[in-house]
Every structure is written in C-alpha cells, then in structure tokens.
Amino acid sequence: MRLDRLLANMGAGSRKDVRKLIAQGAVRVNGAVVRDCGFDVNEAADKVEAAGKEIVYREFVYLMMNKPAGVLSCGDGVPGVKEAKDLVGDDFGFYDLSPAGRLDADSEGFLILTNDGNFIHSIISPSRNVSKEYYIRTEGVLDEADCEAFANGVVLGDGYKCLGAHLEILKADQAGGVSEAVVTVHEGKFHQVKRMALARGKKVTYLKRISVGGVALDPSLEPGEYRELTREELAKLGAF
C-alpha cells in the first residue's frame, strides 16, 4: 500500500496533510525516514511512525454502540441529518462506517457500526437467521394469545406474514393498560416489532434493542457511547 494512503486511511490526516508530513521528514518506516509518498509499505509487517507516533494499520473495525433516540442509524447522505456514525470520535471516525441493520430514529440500543461490507451482509441477510432481541413497552395489555400469535408468525397490515418470533411478557398491568416485554425476531423488516404489536392491537411506546446474534448490549454503555466488539463477540456473530 502507498505510504500516503496508509497514513490517510488510518487518520493521520488528509492526503494533503500526510504528504506534507512525509515531505518534512516526519515519517519513518522501520526506523528510516521516508520522503516518498508513493513508498510501498507492507501494512502487515512494516513499522510506520508519523510525528513520533506509531501508526498501526487495521483494515476493518467493528463497534458496538448504544444508539440514543433522536439519531438515525443512517441518514443516507441527507445534509443536516444526525447519524449514529456522527457520534463516533477521532479514534474511529476516519473509517467509512455503516450500520449492520438499522434502528428507528425514536428507538434506542444495540447498533453495530463497521466498514466491513461482507460482515454487514452476514448480519442482515435473512438466510443467516441472526436473532435480534428487543425490550418494549406497549399501550395495551399483552397476553398469552399474543405470545402464540408471535410464535406462529404475525400477519402485518400489508399482508406480509412474519417469521415466528418469541414474545416474553415481563409485566402486564391490567389497571394501567400497559405492558413490558422482550421480543426476539430473526428478520429485519421495516418497523417490524412495532408493526407486529400493532397487528395485535397494541402500540409500542418504547423500544430498545438489547442483543444481536446472542451478543448482549454492554450495560456500561450510556446512550451515544460505543466500544469495539471483542474477538469473542465477533466470533459469536460469525465474523471469524
């Protein structure tokens, strides 16, 4: 890989900035000053330093974010729209990050951000059958008939029949007319969980994704915070 491209890709600055660093003699490869922007670097073996700081090349990153309400998973390039990747700081912000599956703007919880397109496809592909678990609160009391309907596959308003899902009722307040539950689905249709509940006459008033593929959202992450997925978590998600 070209030296200037490696430095720019790893956040050492814009292509113009890193070329200036190289010209100033501030970049070393294996201890030797290199002033050639097109110098061929073995990113897996060579030691690269810029302004005294070692630059470690990493092709892909995988982040677990606790997405807050009011932020889009992806704004599809619409100017002025706040996206989840806008919350990522300088440590990973220079990567071209995209979400592996989306959450509604008013929903919270586990969102995976990565620059690995193949991994994104593996998470959202229906053939992979990756589970997604959501904590919900509803207007309308959930009951065993709803559990059975979810298990058999709820038919949405447009006629689409969902795959079987698991509904675990945590609280059913008859007096207040509200419920709390955990829903586990294996597909990702638009507004699916909300539409499933609505098809049963209940309205979801709060939704938070709490796990993906058996990997739970880190409870220490506040809304808007993120961390890298561990190797063990990535293995569970099928990355290795």
Catalytic residue (one of 4, 46, 76, 104): 104
Q: Determine whether 4 is an active site residue.
A: no
Cα(22)–Cα(8) distance, integer angstroms: 12
CB neighbourhood size of 97 (10 A): 22
Query: What dihedral angle (degrees, nearest 10) is formed by the CA atoms of 208, 210, 212, 215?
Result: 160
Residues taking part in catalysis: 104
